[in-house]
């Protein structure tokens, strides 16, 4: 596509679109945000007023069919990612969809099939592929800073925000019928996508998931081991019900001459350990965290660049996540059915 100016419509203007993503669509050059949609008409109108958007809708189909809308950003929960993305692509409109790409790998495959069939581009919001710290770490992994890369250790341990809440008070993230799984899908998806970016696709993966706190239907504790196309191997643990003092957020990349430690979510310092000792690096993120990735999407739609996060790469991550938790959900369905 070779659009001079990309005119966007957003489906689902919830919290993520307030600062993280939404403003990137009207702050980037050669891009305009012309329409927004939310099922709550009052909230849609309020978002449009606050962000200077001239049109708002309470119906996604009306936004997709708006002739002024060139491309669509789907920022709803994952249970509607596939349906809205497919509808937009069939209408000839490129799609930028929130992560994870969909609830299941099969939904991702259907999205890819429609993209290929229609020739309409599909992008996914894995924006760590464009952030300064993560780009620098990728560079250091392969420039000899830690020697030959050997293995990865991922740890994400968080306290449960759901304690003391009723199901009605909990986020949609812990209800698999909406999210596909639990917090693991929402957060580990970023980590695995980034590792795919650095080390290539995962070729082998095994995992184990459990619900140990009983706060909600989804898994709350996960472990996994895997291997990348490049030969680097990885292991990880994710737990979303630890005590607050046990909070841990790190990706540790070990080479034969040192290691790099980077937080995935807390935007802290990157630590480099090698023959020169410990070096700590600071990086500044864009005010709107998705700005750099949205810029790449715009450049590709204008025919002047390429975006590093596509439906193809994002679907690989969804496959990995599903492989890790599939046994847990197979047993859960069997238990529920008895």
* 71 touches 30 (CB < 8 A): no
Q: Rounded to whole angstroms, how far apart are CA atoms 107 and 125?
A: 17
- How much is the pLDDT for 177? 96
Q: Rounded to whole angstroms, how far apart are CA atoms 184 and 15?
A: 20
For residue 79, the tally of other CB atoms under 10 A from its CB is: 17
pLDDT tens-digit profile, the chain (338 residues)? 789 999 999 999 999 999 999 999 999 999 999 999 999 999 999 999 999 999 999 999 999 999 999 999 999 999 999 999 999 999 999 999 999 999 999 999 999 999 999 999 999 999 999 999 999 999 999 999 999 999 999 999 999 999 999 999 999 999 999 999 999 999 999 999 999 999 999 999 999 999 999 999 999 999 999 999 999 999 999 999 999 999 999 999 999 999 999 999 999 999 999 999 999 999 999 999 999 999 999 999 999 999 999 999 999 999 999 999 999 999 988 775 54
- Supply angle C-alpha 189, 190, 193, rounded to 5: 80
Q: Within a 13 Å sphere around the CA of 125, how many CA atoms are in the beta-carbon half?
A: 27
- How much is the pLDDT for 338? 43
Structural domains present in the chain: 6-128 (3.40.50.720), 132-284+319-337 (3.30.360.10)
Q: pTM to 2 decimals?
A: 0.96
């Amino acid at each position: 596509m070779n659009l001079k100016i990309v005119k966007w419509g957003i489906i689902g203007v919830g919290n993520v679109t307030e600062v993280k993503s939404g403003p990137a669509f009207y702050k980037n050059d050669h891009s305009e945000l012309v329409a927004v949609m939310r099922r709550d008409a009052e909230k849609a109108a309020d978002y449009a007023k606050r962000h200077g958007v001239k049109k708002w809708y309470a119906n996604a189909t009306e936004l997709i069919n708006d002739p002024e809308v060139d491309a669509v950003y789907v920022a709803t929960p994952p249970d509607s990612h596939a349906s809205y993305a497919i509808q937009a692509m069939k209408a000839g409109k490129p799609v930028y969809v929130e992560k994870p790409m969909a609830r299941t790998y099969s939904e991702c495959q259907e999205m890819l099939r429609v993209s290929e069939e229609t020739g309409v581009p599909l992008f996914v919001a894995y924006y760590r592929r464009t952030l300064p710290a993560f780009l620098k770490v990728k560079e250091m992994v392969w420039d000899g800073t830690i020697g030959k890369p050997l293995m990865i250790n991922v740890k994400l341990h968080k306290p449960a925000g759901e304690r003391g809440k009723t199901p009605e008070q909990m986020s949609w993230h812990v209800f698999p019928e909406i999210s596909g799984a639990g917090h693991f899908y929402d957060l580990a998806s970023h980590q695995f996508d980034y590792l795919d970016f650095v080390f290539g696709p995962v070729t082998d993966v095994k995992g184990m998931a459990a619900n140990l706190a009983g706060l909600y239907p989804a898994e709350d504790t996960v472990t996994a081991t895997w291997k990348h196309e490049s030969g680097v191997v990885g292991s990880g643990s994710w737990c979303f019900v630890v005590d607050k003092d046990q909070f841990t957020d790190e990706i540790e990349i070990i080479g034969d001459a040192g290691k790099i430690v980077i937080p995935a979510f807390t935007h802290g310092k990157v630590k480099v350990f090698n023959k020169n000792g410990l070096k700590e690096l600071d990086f500044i993120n864009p005010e709107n965290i998705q700005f750099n990735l949205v810029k790449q999407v715009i450049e590709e739609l204008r025919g002047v660049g390429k975006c590093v996060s596509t439906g193809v790469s994002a679907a690989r991550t969804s496959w990995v996540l599903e492989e890790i938790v599939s046994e847990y959900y197979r047993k859960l369905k069997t238990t529920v059915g008895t």
